[in-house]
Homo-oligomer: A and B are copies of this chain.
Amino acid sequence: MVAEARKTVVLLLSGGLDSATVLAMTRAANCDVHALSVAYGQRHRAELSAARRVAQSLGAVSHRLLQINLDAIGGSALTDSSIAVPEAQSSSATADSIPVTYVPARNTLFLSLALGLAEVVGARDLYIGVNAVDYSGYPDCRPAFIEAFERLANLATRAGVEGAEFKVHAPLIGMSKAEIIRAGSKLGVDYAMTVSCYQAGDDGRACGRCDACHLRRQGFAASGLIDPTRYA
């Protein structure tokens, strides 16, 4: 999925396990990676410090932090302090229903920011770390969504009008958490730097109880690798 030729790409980097793995994949493919993180009023701001460390450690050529007050919109346990983050099982991202941690239109927003940056830095390839575990719960992690965004990108932009072809790459989309962890470990990702927990403390320590912690812990167990996550 990752391009072989040296190219300039834009990557959405959350500071979590998945996007860190995608960064390692694009770097292994010799890409010049412009990383983009978004402070959107999420509870787990510790992931943004993690994103900075990951971008530096894995050699992104730039790392931008965009700030947007999505809490003015609300509607998600991740941005609205009046909605509790559920513990795993009570509302799992792997269940049929969409969890309360869903942030309305978040990936549409993130990809539109990545698209704007791609136009400015001259990239035609956008990378996003969505995966199969997520897309069973979140609508904007499904392959059909990724394809629809790609189509939009080519209509929405100066570059598209001028004949460029944007590609949205989601190299993890068919992978399990364990497969992702194994792939990243082979590429030298230090997952101790990453933060997945929805309510991580400012020190980056994980709660060990939310869906994100649950999926991460299961992934390490299934991968047969040591889980370096620091729990509170």
Contacts and interface: CB of A to CB of B under 8 A. Distances in A.
Interface string A100-113: 00111111110011
Interface stretch (A1-9, A19-27, A153-161, A172-180): A153-161
Number of copies: 2
- The majority secondary structure among interface residues of chain A is helix
Given A73-B116, A145-B152, A105 B67 contact: no
Interface string A112-155: 11011101100000000000000000011010110011011101
A140 B98 CA distance: 30
A66 B104 CA distance: 15
Contacts of A149: 152, 156
A28 interface: no
B72 A66 contact: yes
A108 B104 contact: no
User: Which has the most chain B C-beta neighbours within 10 Å: A70, A72, A112?
Assistant: A112
A61 interface: no
Contacts of A73: 64, 66, 113, 116-117, 120
A59 interface: no
Contact of A119 (B67, B72, B104): B104
A213 to B, nearest CB: 23
A171 interface: no
A5 to B, nearest CB: 24
User: Which has the most chain B C-beta neighbours within 10 Å: A68, A104, A107, A115?
Assistant: A104
A69 interface: yes
Interface of A: 64-70, 72-75, 98, 102-109, 112-113, 115-117, 119-120, 139-140, 142, 144-145, 148-149, 151-153, 155-158, 160-161
23 contacts: A64-B73, A65-B72, A66-B68, A66-B73, A73-B116, A73-B117, A73-B120, A75-B119, A104-B115, A104-B116, A105-B112, A105-B113, A105-B119, A106-B116, A107-B156, A108-B115, A108-B153, A109-B109, A140-B155, A140-B156, A140-B157, A142-B155, A149-B152
